[in-house]
Structures are given as structure tokens and as C-alpha cells.
Amino acid sequence: MKVKVISVLEDNYMYLVIEESTRDAIAVDAAVPKRLLEIIRKEDVALRAILTTHHHWDHARGNEELARLCPGLRVYGADERIGALTHKVTHGQELTFGAIRVRCLFTPCHTSGHMCYFMWEDGSPDAPALFSGDTLFVGGCGKFFEGTAEQMYTNLTQILGALPKETKVFCGHECTVRNLKFALKVEPENEIVKKKLAWAKQRDDEDLPTVPSTLQEEFLYNPFLRVTEEPLQKFTGKTDPVEVLRTLRTEKDNFKKPKERPNPQAVLAFDWGLFSPFLEKK
């Protein structure tokens, strides 16, 4: 099983999972069809299915076009809002693609129909893979758009957190540096957070992905998986794990956003005085 990490849009990831003996492939969150088809041609594989974690456009918008271009393509997901859906899956359902086994893990919160996908090959020495969409990120978790802190706590502790610790985590977005900056605010003395943040910044400078991480690593630096630890309880002023998680999410939502770079054309326009007529007082 080979996983191709494909950066698309502003900070999204889609993935192509290749069954190497048959050269069949499965896509996860096929947002940009043209880019995906380029990789498929380059790898000389046949796309058999799409696994969609949730219905948001930046994860599912390529489904219809791919279904049109690839007759017979199967599209899996847990939400009727997912475009071109052919197979609605449920929690614990297992799928097979050649030697690749997939277990569907229902994780409602970011959206009410969010599904993660746990993949492995029987008898393989390679670690299994988790495609966690917008539920679990490197150093963070997804926003609670359509769910509750209780749901996310269950997702992170009982469903994803219970997977084998060597599981590789392939998430839906590249937001590791910002997540770890927040983690450092929460746990300023955590040396593992400091090291991971320095590493992530270097990867970012080199325009390289920070995925995958492993579940074992996440428990060391991801604040949303560390809600029973004393520093997290001290930071939030809470002791109940769900309340710690709820407070952390609110704090993260209000955490300072990175400064946006001004549009170069707009800067030139100001320099040349083109906006002056609009700025003059009447």
C-alpha cells in the first residue's frame, strides 16, 4: 500500500492510495480532479473508488467530475450531501480493495456526517493509516461546526485514540505550524511541542508536508488528545475532560490568525494614489 500525499487549494490534502500488486487506486477527498488525474496518469494506476470524509466543498467538490470521467467509479461517504455518492457507509463497516482493508469510523462533530477511514493490509509490516479528514489534525482537531465537545471527545478518545499507536495520521489540512503554536501557548514547558514546532516550521519553509504523524506522537503534543494532563487542566481551569476540550476549542478559535499578506496589486494602487478619490472626505 502506497500513499501519495497531494497538496491542493490553499492548504488541503487529498490522497491517492495505491494497491501496488494490482495498480488499482483509491482517492481520499478528491477535491481537485485535474491534479488527481495527473498523478493517476503519472503513477499508471486505475482509480476504482473515492472515499470522502465529509461534504465540504474543499474535500468533495471533484466527485461529480470524476464520476463523469470514470464510469463505474464508486463514491463512499456517510452524508447524503456528498456529491456523486454511490455507497453510503456506516460506523464499523469494512471495505476491501484488493489487499487493502478499510474500516469506516464515524466521527460526527466537524460535520454531522463526518467519516474517517482506517486502512491496512493483512500481513504487511507497514503501519496502518488513518485518513482523519477534519476531525484530527497534526497537533489539533477540527472546528465543532455541526456537533459538540462531547462528540469530539468520543471521537478523539474512544474511536481514533483507541487505534494502534503506530497508526500513521493523514489529515485533511496543512495547519501544523499554527496548531503547534497554540499547543505551545497551552503547554509552554512541553519540550516535545517545541521540537515538533521547530521541525514543522522547517518543513513549511521548504514547502514540504508535515503529514503523516503517528497517533503515538499526537498524544505527546496535541492538546486535544491531552485533556487529562495537569498542564491542560491548569490552562483551561477545568478538570472534566469534556470541559477541558470545550474550553480548548474556544481558545483555539480565538487564537490569533496569521497576518495575511496584502495583495501586491492593491499595494501598488495605494502607492500610485489610485484609491485617493475614494478615500477623500466628502
Q: Is 55 a catalytic residue?
A: no
Percent over 70 (pLDDT), the chain: 91
> Total structural domains in the chain?
1
At 229 the pLDDT is: 98
Domain that holds residue 155: 2-261
- Per-residue pLDDT averaged across 26-34, rounded? 97
Catalytic residue among 29, 56, 79, 114: 56
37 domain residue, yes or no: yes
Nearest by Cα to 140 from 252, 42, 9: 252
Please say if 91 is a catalytic residue: no
Q: Is 281 within the bounds of a domain?
A: no
| Spatial separation of the C-alpha atoms in residues 51 and 269, rounded to whole Å | 45
> What SS3 class is residue 277?
helix
CA count, 13 A, side-chain hemisphere, 191: 0
In a domain? residue 274? no
Specify if 213 maps to a domain: yes
Q: 163: buried, middle or exposed (CB in 10 Å: 19+, 13-18, 0-12)?
A: middle
pLDDT in tens, 83-140: 999 999 999 999 999 999 999 999 999 999 999 999 999 999 999 999 999 999 999 9
Per-residue pLDDT at 108: 98
134 catalytic? Reply is yes
Beta strands in 72-219 (DSSP E): 74-77, 87-88, 94-97, 100-106, 115-121, 129-133, 136-137, 140-141, 168-171, 213-214
In a domain, 181, yes or no: yes
Q: Which residues touch 97 (CB under 8 Å, ≥6 apart)?
A: 19, 24, 26, 48, 49
Q: Answer yes or no: 114 catalytic.
A: no
Q: Is residue 44 part of a domain?
A: yes
Q: How far is CA 193 from the centre of its chain?
A: 19
The pTM for the full model equals 0.90
The answer to the question of residue 273 being in a domain is: no
Give the tens place of pLDDT for each residue, 150-198.
Answer: 999 999 999 999 999 999 999 999 999 999 999 999 999 999 999 999 9
Q: Supply the pLDDT for residue 256.
A: 77
Question: CB neighbours of 36 closer than 8 A, spacing ≥ 6?
Answer: 6, 14, 16, 27, 30, 47, 62, 66
What pLDDT score was predicted for residue 281? 39
Distance of alpha carbon 223 from the chain centroid: 16
For residue 279, tell me if it sits in a domain.
no
258 close to 178: Cβ distance less than 8 angstroms = yes
24, 29, 79, 110: which one is catalytic?
A: 110
* pLDDT confidence of residue 244: 98
When pLDDT is averaged across residues 215-243 and rounded to a whole number, the result is: 98
Selecting among 24, 29, 58, 79, the annotated active-site residue is 58
Q: Which of 54, 55, 79, 114 is catalytic?
A: 54
pLDDT of 43 higher than 80 = yes
> Which listed residue (24, 29, 59, 79) is catalytic?
59
Which CATH number characterizes residue 247's domain? Answer: 3.60.15.10
Contact 92, 104 (CB under 8 A): yes
pLDDT at 264: 56
pLDDT above 70 (res 268): no
Q: Looking at residue 96, what is its pLDDT? A: 96
Does pLDDT of 222 surpass 50?
yes
Cα gap 51→102, rounded to integer Å: 10
One-letter identity of residue 208: L
